[in-house]
Structure 1
Amino acid sequence: MKIVVSGGGTGGHIYPALALIREIQKEASEAEFLYIGTEKGLESSIVSRENIPFKSIHITGFQRKLSFENVKTIFRFLKGVRDSKRLLKEFNADIVIGTGGYVCGPVVYAAAKLGIPTIIHEQNSVPGLTNKFLSKYVDRIAICFEEAAPFFPKDKVVLTGNPRASEVLGHDGTKGRLSAGLKINQPVVLIVGGSRGAKPINEAVLKSLAELGEKPYQVLYITGDVHYDEVQKEVALIGSPKNVIIKPFIYNMPEILSGTDLTVARAGATTLAELTSLGIPSILIPSPYVTNNHQEKNAKALSEHGAAVLLLESELTGKKLTEQMDQILMDKKKLSEMKNAAKELGIPDAANRLYALMKELVNKK
């Protein structure tokens, strides 16, 4: 099978695509892949490091206000469609899947017009503009949250989950704890604000450092590279408790997550897929700076099922954060209930579900 994957702009669109590719490669080594993205997007460097054939087109996203740039974007879209058709024909694609970002627009649209089977994968509970547009033309729409279904044509929607959920399974949590300098026999809270960190979360943690030092659990606190030096200056003044380990970034997240009892994080779709796949309770602090406030809606999809606690950034303080951590970790019954609730929401075989959907469409062709 010759598979074209397109997705870009943010890691939330790129990493699920790569997870899907890796899982398909395990099951079907003969499968061939072509990734179509933009030269200036994150996907350009990330995909190249994975040794996956990569081609680029030039396209920009629409601005949400009236602008002459949108006129230029229309012309870029039309050229992107022409370029995409050429690439798809050269590759002789059997199926095309878009995992989000404006680059998917011309690529998936071109495939639909060529009669190539198409799928879009929506990671969030509220879809973006590109997937809403493409939903009229694609064969299937794969979703990760049931809350996303009403935004799309009912007969096209399939709940598959996020392929990243498959990648975090089967890792050694003990190895993860040891690699981070954590104790084996004490509960672990992972606090992370994303790859670049989150200043409000960092500020809340710093204000509660002294109090955290007295807790019967340990904290692995990931500041993000951008904020690490600033945090360390503050820690030098406050003092760092022995049970709090501070790092700028970690590269073995699946192992770390496997050894985690509770996670404090933003509410990006990939993060939630990983947490529910492993059945990890969470305190979710959605970023208020994302399109359609989708992180808060993602978080509610977990909190309303008892798998997470939703804590808005506007209400975040060091005191509130530690109180929530205590209430979960020091109540074994509550912790167990949240673990079970998270596990019930997880779709650990997401990559296999998506691949099965792809094979079904190709066989129907």
Structure 2
Amino acid sequence: MRVVLTGGGTGGHIYPALAVAGEISRQNPQAAFLYIGSKNGLEANLVPRQGMPFQSVEISGLKRKLSLDNLKTLWKFVQAVGDAKKMLRQFQPDVVIGTGGYVCGPVVYAASRLGIPTMIHEQNVVPGLTNKFLARSATRVAVSFSESLPLFPAGKTVLTGNPRATEVMHGDKAKGRSFLGVAQDKQIVLIFGGSRGARAINEAVLDAVERFASFPNTHFVYVTGEVHFSSIQAALQQKGDIPANLSVLPFVHNMPDVLAATHVLVGRAGASTLAEITALGVPAILIPSPYVTNNHQEKNARGLERAGAAKVILERELSGESLMAELSALLADRQTWEEMRKSSLTLGMPRAAATIVENLLEIAKGK
């Protein structure tokens, strides 16, 4: 089987594509892959690390009002479609899957024009602009939430879940603890602002960090995002003594292992993160990003909150004090933690990647 994957901009688009590739490889070790992304996107760094062939097209996003920039973007789109067609003709894939981000637009559209079966995957409750556009020409549409089903063409849309749910099921708790250097008798709180980090979460953690030492049975793992790492390190040094139960990292590439060892997650409410924690049953304190299209992260997070799987703090309400109030209550109450864990597991879709692969095989065979 020959598969082209495309998706870019943030880890929330890239990691689901890599999770699909991982599941295909588990089922068919002889499968061949090509990833088409943007040369300036995060995927240009993450994908080659996986040993996967990577090629790029040049593309940017449309602005939501008429402008000269939009005309330039449309011209780039036309050029990117032409470039993508050349790559696709050369690679000769059986199927193309796009997992979101601007780069999916020209690649999936080019594939559909060449008659290659295509699938798009929508991670969030509210579809992005690119997937709305591609839904008309894609062979099949996969969604992560049942609430998204009415927002796409009924005849070709299926509920699969997010493939990151499957990927984290292969995580190794012992390897996660070993990587972090945390003993078995310590519970782990993972603070993670997404692949690029989150300034508001970083500021709240800096405000709260002195209080971490009052939880001797807990180890805090604070992932700043590479762009924020140096400034956070400098700010911590200015504060003086860094708690011994705190690890500060710029990025985590073995997230399935780390999540397998995690007791509580503090982080954004991106769709991939929610798929991961519900597959594993990790209680969470979610701080949705207010800077995303259609406020989709809050909508994602509220679903977990209603189910009893997470607590939500809006960014405008976030501070060191509000964060520690929620975190302290959760760490102190084992019964509440257990109830949240069970609620989280009821939302998980650990077979998501396998379901997506089943659909890919079907459309590749023309079903």
> Which of 135-144 and 249-258 deviates more?
249-258
Q: Which moved more, 1:240-249 or 1:10-19?
A: 240-249
Q: CA RMSD in A?
A: 2.1
* Stretch moving more, 276-285 or 247-256: 247-256
Aligned positions, number: 365
- 1:344 matched to which residue of 2? 346
Deviation at 1:331, TM superposition (A): 1.8
Are the counterparts in 1 of residues 269 and 288 from structure 2 also a CA contact under 8 Å?
yes
* Structure-2 change in CA distance of 1:218 and 1:40 (3 Å): closer
Q: Superposition pairs for residues 112-261 of structure 1, below 5 Å?
A: 112-215=112-215, 216-236=217-237, 237-261=239-263
Quote how far apart the aligned CAs of 1:224 are.
3.0
Identity %: 51
Aligned to 2:355: 353
- Structure 1 residue runs of 5 or longer lacking an equivalent are none
Once residues 35 and 113 of structure 1 are traced to their aligned partners in structure 2, the CA distance between those partners, rounded to angstroms, is 19
What TM-score do the two structures reach when normalised by structure 2?
0.92
Within 1, Cα distance between the matches of 2:44 and 2:171? 28
Q: Please give the alpha-carbon distance, in whole angstroms, between the structure 1 residues aligned to 2:50 and 2:183.
A: 33
Deviation per CA, 1:155-208, whole angstroms, max 9, x where unpaired?
222111222222222333233224323232132211122244322222222222
Q: Choose the corresponding residue for 1:332, options 326, 331, 334.
A: 334
Could you tell me which residue of structure 1 aligns to residue 264 of structure 2? Answer: 262
Candidates 286, 290, 293, aligned match of 1:291: 293
Aligned to 2:20: 20
Q: What is the alpha-carbon distance in structure 2 between the residues aligned to residue 235 and residue 44 of structure 1?
A: 31
Q: CA deviation at 1:45?
A: 3.4
The structural deviation recorded for 1:230 is: 3.5
- Whether the 8 Å CA contact 1:59–1:77 is kept in 2: the answer is yes
Distance in 1 of aligned mates of 2:51 and 2:262: 31
Letter of the 2:302 counterpart: K
Kindly indicate whether the alpha-carbon contact (under 8 Å) linking 2:10 and 2:195 is maintained by their aligned counterparts in 1: no
* Conserved 8 A contact 1:181-1:245: no
- 1:94 aligns to what? 94
Give the 3-state SS of the residue equivalent to 1:241 in structure 2.
Answer: coil
Measured in 1, the distance between the counterparts of 2:76 and 2:230 equals: 41
Deviation at 1:318, TM superposition (A): 1.4
Q: Compared with structure 1, are the counterparts of its residues 62 and 225 closer, same or farther at alpha carbon in structure 2 (3 Å cutoff)? A: closer
| Counterpart contact for 1:147–1:301, Cα < 8 Å | no
Counterpart of 2:218, as a letter, is Y
User: Secondary structure of the residue that 2:278 maps to in structure 1?
Assistant: helix
Conserved in 2, the CA contact under 8 Å of 1:122 and 1:144? yes
Question: Is 1:178–1:184's contact at 8 Å kept on the other side of the alignment?
Answer: no
Q: Which amino acid aligns with 2:354?
A: N
Residue by residue over 1:46-95, the C-alpha shift from the partner in whole angstroms, topping out at 9 and shown as x without a partner, is 32333323333333221112111222222332333333333323333221
- Cα distance, 1:238 vs. partner? 4.8
**Structure 1 residues 245 and 38, CA, compared in 2 at 3 Å: closer, same or farther?**
closer
Change (3 A) 1:183 1:72: same
Q: Distance in 2 between matches of 1:350 and 1:184?
A: 30
Cα distance change, pair 186–137 in 1 and its aligned pair in 2 (3 A): same
Per the TM alignment, residue 30 of structure 1 is displaced from its structure 2 partner at its CA by 2.4
C-alpha displacement of 1:151 = 1.8
Deviation at 1:235, TM superposition (A): 3.4
Q: Name the CA distance, whole Å, in 2 between partners of 1:51 and 1:168.
A: 19
TM-score in terms of structure 1 length? 0.92
Distance 1:79 1:209, change over 3 A: closer
Amino acid at match of 2:148: A
| 2:248 partner SS | strand
Maintained 8 Å contact 1:59/1:102 = yes
Match of 1:219, SS state, is strand
How much has 1:133 moved relative to structure 2?
0.7
CA contact 2:267–2:287 (8 Å) conserved in 1: yes
**SS at structure 2 position matched to 1:208:** helix
In structure 2, list runs of 5 or more residues that go unmatched: none
Secondary structure of 2:161's aligned partner:
coil
Give the conservation status (yes or no) of the 8 Å contact 1:5–1:35. Answer: yes
Q: Distance in 2 between matches of 1:96 and 1:227?
A: 35
2:173 touches 2:260 (CA, 8 Å); kept in 1?
yes
**Structure 1 residue 256, shift from structure 2 partner:** 1.6
Residues 119-173 of structure 1, C-alpha deviations (whole Å, 9 max, x = no match): 1011112111110011111121111122222321222221112222222223332
The residue number in structure 2 matching 1:109 is: 109
2:72 alignment counterpart: 72
SS in structure 1 opposite 2:214? coil
1:279 partner letter:
G
Distance 1:110 1:229 in 2: 41
1:291-343 CA-to-partner distances (Å, cap 9, x unmatched) read 22222122122112111111101001212111111222222221111111111
Deviations 1:246-273 (A, max 9, x none): 3333333222211111110111222112
Question: 100-109 or 174-183, which moves further after superposition?
Answer: 174-183
Moved more, 280-289 or 193-202: 193-202
Separation (CA, whole Å) in 2 of partners of 1:85 and 1:246: 43
Distance 1:291 1:50 in 2: 29
Q: Given residue 97 of structure 1, which amino acid in structure 2 is its aligned partner?
A: I
**Helix, strand or coil at the partner of 1:264:** strand
